[in-house]
């Protein structure tokens, strides 16, 4: 199929004034009556045909301005209903029938257990009724839901509840009205037997908002954290940006079957239950934190996404990059900005950098797509957030706030573009961001090569910074970018020195944001009495790869003394990365022993004096497989995984006593509370446990089993389970866990993932066996994610097995799932994206596998696009 191109954008030929929907809900056959009032837009010459998007709909009737149409009056295609050009205000009544229960793609109207619900972003509304299903058509909606009262006592839609009543046949009905014009992708309904918890929130201007969380009755006790998170997010957005909620009720709903993490439908946010439910027994610290982040993310969309929406789907990052930036800041305020930053950077570099280096590389604002649902990517979300963050770095908190306020007030009620966002930022700060816009258009991870020169005689320190960006699909050559580079210089004791560039009269501050615009930029600092240690890219001020010659001593100094958490982490991380890559490249040669300076630095992290255990836990971790993989060519992934394992074991042996001691100290028996301080201590404690599990001493075995048995919370229990899973003495515990939680799918997902990631040689066989587990279901994206996707993405040792069994398994599952849920199959198909960096023999196997998938009949457009891009 021909791709959709950004530059082909044309304004809509018809706008919609209002939509009145009636759903006669029935899991097998739901009838949808839509009255749409349309207004033609083109005044230049001929009016255009009235084209309404629609997919997989049974059309029952069409009335145009009250007159029933026959098949001769319109054209009905596979993806549209086309009527002749209309000259004036047009009232269209369309009746369609859909089958929610048969809808396993989970887009449009579908069933999750006994609940009926919709997912319309990006193009689900066209699976409900015929409509101009594009984000620049904004309309006011009312929605009347009619359903059996026993089966569907709760009936929810966008906006505020208006009216309700009973019908003589035992059905009841509720009408909802949303006063805010919105695009169709923000429409939603939920109908089911659900309970709720609630609280109220008083906005800054004194309005009371009812905040409700709906879920299955049994899940309600686990929803209190999400309710609190919603209120925290509401307060945060008022404090930071002066943005208040704008309806009388704010409703959150959790459901078990959901393709994404959550969805920001106006006034009715729907969540994958994974991101709504959390209690100490069943959820880990990371799960609690994820609930905070995702709830805040969806809430923040109310202004950046809903009140101001996107002109077209190419502008997706306009709302997603911005919502991620806002949720990252929110989470940073909750758990410490430094720790949050390191975690976000780590995720970006592991996932987005890989995406940017592979066959699916695309700009933050893509230029074309075949299936927009494939573009909810790390690049659009996470790199998009980094681009926004750079604006904050350039303009500071006040300037950024001014820009955001201007953007929101100028475009409230409109469908905007990334250019308009950047224009508001530029205008509010009197800046020229023309060059900065290239961040939206150029794919690939830019590289900064930094060459430092110290001139002792002149007492100057010069940084020569070269920027470049590797070619990516369809973008062979790149223009230089506008890059903020945050720097400080440390003296030998680790203190920041005052900074004065040679052309300046006096020093100002000890930290600077240097701006790069040219391919090569030179900065010379004056009055530098001794060779300093450069602390560069502080806070990870730009999403780039930086290469700079640093000695081991300099790295250790930065890791110990820098006051920037990112640089501290990065210094050790860079050191460890080089060590591991060196060991991999050395092949079978006996590895050189670990440098004592390095093991001492790691040991220091374990001491009670270390101020931030959460950061220490992050610094203690070895670089992930994907980071190492991304730095190599012609990789034998099995050998790389083995280098990682062997090094972990060696570190555990070298640091045995300090690890045990640190674990003992932090295992303080205090009851579980989820907060920044205690989850940080648990992270460090369990980091120690994970290293120790590499060793086979009786002491370690006892420790692991004791922690598993005595844990009063899922964080500690799962840490012990994970550590035990690769060991010979872990089977009993694995079985116990599976039995204990057999009624709780979200917890069993953790158990599935432990199996899927296991280094054991029979990991794949066990994954296959677990696909027959009563709780596993190929129609549930969480189950598939926890077992199949986890195996293919997070078990490099077994996925890349030399006999090709892992690849064959992936291919088989992609094809099977494609018939069930194309979005999930397409996600899984991404597991082959790394093939260009594999060794020749694996490369050949993957290419053959891709060809088989590509050649299969009836492959969905979603999966075709991913596989097609990968195999060129």
Rounded to 5°, the CA angle 304-306-310 comes to 80
Specify whether the CB–CB gap between 172 and 202 falls below 8 A. Answer: no
Q: CB of 428 within 8 A of CB of 402? A: yes
Q: Establish how many alpha carbons lie within 13 A of residue 218's alpha carbon, considering only the half-sphere containing its beta carbon.
A: 5
Q: How far is the CB of 491 from ligand DPP (least distance, A)?
A: 45
Q: Look at residues 193, 214, 191 and name the one whose alpha carbon lies nearest to residue 276.
A: 214
Q: Which of residues 121-140 bind ligand DPP (CB under 6 A)?
A: 121
> Which of 53, 285, 298, 862 lies at the binding interface for ligand DPP (CB under 6 A)?
298
Q: Binding to ligand DPP by residue 263, rule CB under 6 A?
A: yes
Please choose, from the candidates 809, 869, 796, the residue with its C-alpha nearest in 3D space to the C-alpha of residue 836.
869
- Annotated catalytic residue: which of 298, 328, 355, 554? 298
x/- map, 323-352, Zn ion, by CB under 5 A: x-----------------------------
- Candidates 26-34, 261-269, 539-547, 676-684: pick the segment binding ligand DPP (CB under 6 A): 261-269
The counts of H helices and E strands in the chain are 29, 31
Contact assessment for residue 757 and residue 790, using Cβ atoms and an 8 Å cutoff:
yes
Q: Shortest distance, CB of residue 838 to Zn ion, whole angstroms?
A: 33
- Choices 146-154, 317-325, 463-471, 768-776; region in contact with Zn ion by CB under 5 A: 317-325
Stretch that binds ligand DPP, among 257-265, 385-393, 423-431, 486-494 (CB under 6 A): 257-265
Determine the Cα–Cα distance for residues 561 and 556; give it in Å rounded to an integer: 9
Tokens of residue 191, six digits: 């109908």
> Residue 268, interface with Zn ion (CB under 5 A)?
no
**CA 704, CA 709: separation in Å to the nearest integer?**
9
The pair of structure tokens assigned to 639 is: 């050998």
* Binder of residue 292, out of Zn ion, ligand DPP, none (CB less than 5 to 8 A by kind): none
Stretch that binds Zn ion, among 313-321, 508-516, 731-739, 750-758 (CB under 5 A): 313-321
247 binds, among ligand DPP, Zn ion, none (CB under 5 to 8 A by kind): none
CB of 329 to ligand DPP, least distance (A): 16
Instruction: Compute φ and ψ for 182, nearest 5 degrees.
Output: -145, 155
Q: How far is the CB of 213 from ligand DPP (least distance, A)?
A: 17
Q: Specify whether 451 is catalytic.
A: no
User: Terminal CA-to-CA distance of the chain, rounded, Å?
Assistant: 16
> What token pair was written down for 757?
């990631």
Compute the distance between CA of residue 713 and CA of residue 280 in angstroms, rounded to an integer. 5
655 is an interface residue for Zn ion by CB under 5 A: no
* 93 belongs to the binding site for ligand DPP (CB under 6 A): no
* Spatial CA neighbour of 207 closest among 157, 249, 174, 237: 249
Considering only the stretches 56-64, 258-266, 459-467, 715-723, report the one whose residues sit in contact with ligand DPP under the rule CB under 6 A.
258-266
Residue with tokens 């930065």: 558
262 binds, among Zn ion, ligand DPP, none (CB under 5 to 8 A by kind): ligand DPP
Which residue in the set 80, 197, 260, 513 belongs to the binding site for ligand DPP (CB under 6 A)?
A: 260
Q: Strands 268-272 and 249-255: what pairing?
A: parallel
Letters for 47-86 (x = contact with ligand DPP by CB under 6 A, - = none) are ----------------------------------------
Greatest pairwise CA separation for the chain in angstroms: 96
Min dist. Cβ of residue 113 to Zn ion (A): 25
Shortest spacing between CB 201 and Zn ion, in angstroms: 21
CA dist list (Å): 866 to 784, 804, 817, 821, 826? 18, 21, 14, 15, 6
The partner in contact with residue 263, picked from ligand DPP, Zn ion, none with C-beta cut-offs of 5 to 8 angstroms by kind, is ligand DPP
Instruction: Report the alpha-carbon angle 530-536-538, nearest 5.
Output: 130
Is there binding between residue 234 and Zn ion (CB under 5 A)? Answer: no
CB of 320 to Zn ion, least distance (A): 5
**DSSP one-letter code for 71:** G
CB of 837 to Zn ion, least distance (A): 30
SS (H, E, C) 449-493: EEEEEEECCCCEEEEEEEEECCCECCECCCCCCCEEEEEEEECCC
Tell me if 371 contacts ligand DPP by CB under 6 A: no
CB burial class (10 A; 0-12, 13-18, 19+) of residue 754? buried
Residues 252, 112 contacting (CB under 8 angstroms): no
**Total residues at interface with ligand DPP (CB under 6 A):** 8
Q: Which residue from 38, 95, 143, 262 is in contact with ligand DPP, where contact means CB under 6 A?
A: 262
At its nearest, how many Å lie between Zn ion and the CB of residue 323?
4
Nearer to Zn ion, 320 or 667 (CB): 320
Segment holding 347, helix H or strand E: helix 337-347
Hey, what are 70's tokens?
């026959």
Whose tokens are 């991304």? That residue is 630
Residue 18 CB, nearest distance to ligand DPP (Å)?
24
Residue 264 found at the interface with ligand DPP (CB under 6 A): yes
Q: Which stretch binds Zn ion (CB under 5 A): 157-165, 315-323, 329-337, 513-521?
A: 315-323
The residue whose Cβ lies closest to Zn ion is: 323
Is residue 318 within the footprint of Zn ion (CB under 5 A)? Answer: no
Query: Which of ligand DPP, Zn ion, none interacts with 501 (beta carbon under 5 to 8 A by kind)?
Result: none
For residues 264 and 277, which CB has a smaller minimum distance to ligand DPP in the complex?
264
Which stretches of the chain bind ligand DPP, using CB under 6 A? 121, 260, 262-264, 297-298, 320
Which stretches of the chain bind Zn ion, using CB under 5 A? 320, 323
Active-site residues: which are they?
298
């Amino acid at each position: 199929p021909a791709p959709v191109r950004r530059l082909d954008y044309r304004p809509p030929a018809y706008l919609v004034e209002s939509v009145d929907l009636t759903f006669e809900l029935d899991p097998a056959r739901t009838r949808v009556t839509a009255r749409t009032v349309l207004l033609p837009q083109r005044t230049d010459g001929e009016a255009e045909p009235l084209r309404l998007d629609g997919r997989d709909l049974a059309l029952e009737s069409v009335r145009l301005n009250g007159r029933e149409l026959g098949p001769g009056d319109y054209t009905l295609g596979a993806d549209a209903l086309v009527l002749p050009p209309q000259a004036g205000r047009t009232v269209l009544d369309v009746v369609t029938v859909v089958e929610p229960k048969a809808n396993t793609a989970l887009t449009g109207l579908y069933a999750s257990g006994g609940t009926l619900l919709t997912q319309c972003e990006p193009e689900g509304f066209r699976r409900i009724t015929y409509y101009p299903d594009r984000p620049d058509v904004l309309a006011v909606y009312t929605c009347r839901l009619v359903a059996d009262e026993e089966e569907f006592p709760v009936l929810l839609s966008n906006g505020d509840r208006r009216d309700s009543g009973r019908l003589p046949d035992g059905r009841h009905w509720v009408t909802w009205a949303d006063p805010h014009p919105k695009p169709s992708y923000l429409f939603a309904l939920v109908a089911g037997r659900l309970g709720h918890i609630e609280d109220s929130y008083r906005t800054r201007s004194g309005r009371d908002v009812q905040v409700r969380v709906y879920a299955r009755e049994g899940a309600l006790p686990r929803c209190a954290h999400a309710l609190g998170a919603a209120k925290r997010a509401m307060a945060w957005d008022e404090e930071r940006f002066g943005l208040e909620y704008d309806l009388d009720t704010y409703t959150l709903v959790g459901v078990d079957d959901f393709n994404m993490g959550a969805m920001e439908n106006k006034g009715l946010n729907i969540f994958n239950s994974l991101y709504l439910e959390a209690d100490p027994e069943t959820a880990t610290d990371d799960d609690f934190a994820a609930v905070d982040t995702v709830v805040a993310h969806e809430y923040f969309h109310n202004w950046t996404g809903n009140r101001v929406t996107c002109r077209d789907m190419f502008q997706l990052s306009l709302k997603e990059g911005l919502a991620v930036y806002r949720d990252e800041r929110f989470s940073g305020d909750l758990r410490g900005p430094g720790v949050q930053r390191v975690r976000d950077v780590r995720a970006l570099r592991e996932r987005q950098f890989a995406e940017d280096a592979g066959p699916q590389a695309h700009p933050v604002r893509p230029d074309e797509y075949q299936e927009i649902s494939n573009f909810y990517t790390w690049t659009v979300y996470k790199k998009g957030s980094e681009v926004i963050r750079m604006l904050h770095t350039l303009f500071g908190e006040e300037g950024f706030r001014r820009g955001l306020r201007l953007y929101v007030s100028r475009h409230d009620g409109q469908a905007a573009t990334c250019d308009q966002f950047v224009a508001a930022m530029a205008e509010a700060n009197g800046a020229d961001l023309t060059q900065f816009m290239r961040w939206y258009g150029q794919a690939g991870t830019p590289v900064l090569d930094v060459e430092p020169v110290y001139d002792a005689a002149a007492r100057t320190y010069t940084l020569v910074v070269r920027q470049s960006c590797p070619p990516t699909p369809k973008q062979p050559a790149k223009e230089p970018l506008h890059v903020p580079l945050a720097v400080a210089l440390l003296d030998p004791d680790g203190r920041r020195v005052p900074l004065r560039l040679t052309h300046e009269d006096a020093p100002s501050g000890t930290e600077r944001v240097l701006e790069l615009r040219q391919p090569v930029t030179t900065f010379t600092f004056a009055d530098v009495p001794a060779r300093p240690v450069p602390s560069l890219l502080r806070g990870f001020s730009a999403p780039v790869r930086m290469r700079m010659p640093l000695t081991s001593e300099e790295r250790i100094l930065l890791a110990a003394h820098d006051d920037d958490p990112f640089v501290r982490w990065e210094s050790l991380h860079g050191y460890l990365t080089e060590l591991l890559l060196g060991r991999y490249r050395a092949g079978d040669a006996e590895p050189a022993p670990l440098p004592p300076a390095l093991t001492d630095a790691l040991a220091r992290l374990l001491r009670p004096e270390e101020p931030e255990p959460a950061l220490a836990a992050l610094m203690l971790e070895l670089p992930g497989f994907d980071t190492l993989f991304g730095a190599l060519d012609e990789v034998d992934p099995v050998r790389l995984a083995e280098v990682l394992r062997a090094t972990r074991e060696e570190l555990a042996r070298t640091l045995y006593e300090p690890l045990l001691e640190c674990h003992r100290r932090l295992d303080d028996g205090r009851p579980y509370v989820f907060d920044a301080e205690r989850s940080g201590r648990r992270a460090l404690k369990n980091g120690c446990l994970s290293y120790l599990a590499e060793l086979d001493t009786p002491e370690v075995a006892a420790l692991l089993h004791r922690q598993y048995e005595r844990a009063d919370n899922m964080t500690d229990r799962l840490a012990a389970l994970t550590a035990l899973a690769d060991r010979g003495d872990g089977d009993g515990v694995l079985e116990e866990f599976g039995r204990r939680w057999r009624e709780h799918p979200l917890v069993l997902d953790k158990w599935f993932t432990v199996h899927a990631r296991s280094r054991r040689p029979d990991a794949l066989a066990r994954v296959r066996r677990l696909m027959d587990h009563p709780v596993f279901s190929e129609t549930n994206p969480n189950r598939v994610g926890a077992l199949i996707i986890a195996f293919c993405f997070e078990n490099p040792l077994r996925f890349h097995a030399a006999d090709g069994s892992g690849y064959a398994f992936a291919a088989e599952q992609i094809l099977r799932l494609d018939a069930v849920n194309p979005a999930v199959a397409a996600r899984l198909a991404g597991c082959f994206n790394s093939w260009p960096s594999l060794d020749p023999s694996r490369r050949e196997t993957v290419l053959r596998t891709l060809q088989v998938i590509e050649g299969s009949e009836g492959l969905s457009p979603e999966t075709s696009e991913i596989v097609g891009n990968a195999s060129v």
